[in-house]
């Protein structure tokens, strides 16, 4: 109790304590220079360089702590926000670009039930009771069936093979686990990724400046992971073609060179397409094309 008294005036930031988002969240905090040491026996730790504390919680609980509790910021999946029905009480501040997955209806690939209409009225196992219940209620109302939704906290993909279900509703990332269990997807309820969220209600006005600062830092880390800096030289007469290839996030930076008729261009480009961009620049006569990795940035 004394420990929680010591953090009551600090900004509280909820982080998933384990699971698919945990390691990525730690990388994000490190990139944003949020300095802390977490004890293995405590789920709350003080941040050394900000008046804030990190609270490590189950990802499914974070929307409720942010929406109804005293937690100012949190990171969790959009699927968890929807399942907790906290959408009206929390605001998604920033998509984080990791933890991407889909919540899908899955059935045995070689089974007799191959459409959601056929599955309606049967047994469905899931850890997303709210979302699955809403989805199958729509089917039941249309078809006059009654689908039995049962909750299982883990190993949902094994429910069909072990005789507990005719179909499941579960998250799919790569699909490897789904295929290994002999399942395939027949419908998608929603697509999800990790997001930074805050309460829709201002809890402590003196925390707003720090919330904005942390959001800016995290956005910079995300952008640095997504973009690289592309520098090259190009003849001025070909500048329009070049900047159509590298328009930048807002605009490319163009600087004159001592060699008359040439300019230097600097532009942020997406890391995933950088090889293609270099090929296109070279094809129109660009030279000295350099790609510079970003550790951090502000965008």
Q: Enumerate the domain spans of the chain.
A: 2-99+194-203, 101-192, 227-292
Tell me the pTM: 0.85
Question: Tell me, which fold does domain 227-292 have in CATH?
Answer: Alpha-Beta Plaits (3.30.70)
* CATH 2.60.40.730 is right for the domain spanning 101-192: no
The yes-or-no answer to whether 2-99+194-203 and 101-192 have a common fold is yes
Which residue pairs, CB below 8 angstroms and at least 24 apart, start in 258-266? 261/235, 261/236, 261/237, 262/233, 262/234, 262/235, 262/236, 263/233, 263/234, 263/235, 263/236, 263/239, 264/231, 264/232, 264/233, 265/230, 265/231, 265/232, 265/233, 265/234, 265/239, 266/229, 266/230, 266/231
**In this predicted model, what pLDDT tens digit does every residue of 208-253 receive, in sequence order?**
999 999 999 999 999 999 999 999 999 999 999 999 999 998 899 9
**pLDDT over 70, % of the chain:** 98
Residue-level pLDDT at 6: 63
> Has residue 299 got a pLDDT over 80?
no
Residue-level pLDDT at 1: 47
- Tell me which CATH code domain 2-99+194-203 carries: 3.40.190.10
Residue-level pLDDT at 150: 94
């Amino acid at each position: 109790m004394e420990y929680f008294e010591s953090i009551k005036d600090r900004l509280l930031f909820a982080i998933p304590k384990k699971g698919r988002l945990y390691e990525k969240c730690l990388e994000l905090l490190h990139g944003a220079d949020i300095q802390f040491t977490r004890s293995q026996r405590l789920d709350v730790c003080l941040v050394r360089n900000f008046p804030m504390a990190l609270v490590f919680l189950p990802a499914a609980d974070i929307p409720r702590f942010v929406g109804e509790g005293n937690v100012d910021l949190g990171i969790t999946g959009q699927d968890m926000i929807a399942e907790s029905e906290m959408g009206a009480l929390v605001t998604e501040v920033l998509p984080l670009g990791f933890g991407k997955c889909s919540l899908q209806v899955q059935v045995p690939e070689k089974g007799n039930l191959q459409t959601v209409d056929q599955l309606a009225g049967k047994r469905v196992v899931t850890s997303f009771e709210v979302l699955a219940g809403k989805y199958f209620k729509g089917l039941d109302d249309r078809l006059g069936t009654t689908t039995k939704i049962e909750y299982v906290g883990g190993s949902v993909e094994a429910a069909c093979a072990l005789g507990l279900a005719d179909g499941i509703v579960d998250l799919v990332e790569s699909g490897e686990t789904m295929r290994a269990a002999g399942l395939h997807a027949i419908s998608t309820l929603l697509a999800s990724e990790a997001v930074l969220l805050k309460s829709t209600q201002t809890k402590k006005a003196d925390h707003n400046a720090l919330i904005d600062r942390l959001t800016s830092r995290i956005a910079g880390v995300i952008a640095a992971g997504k973009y690289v800096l592309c520098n090259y030289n190009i003849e001025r007469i070909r500048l329009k073609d070049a900047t159509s290839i590298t328009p930048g996030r807002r605009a490319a930076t163009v600087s004159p060179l001592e060699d008359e008729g040439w300019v230097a261009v600097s532009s942020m480009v997406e890391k995933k397409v950088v090889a293609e961009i270099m090929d296109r620049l070279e094809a129109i006569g660009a030279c000295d094309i350099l790609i510079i990795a970003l550790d951090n940035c502000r965008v």
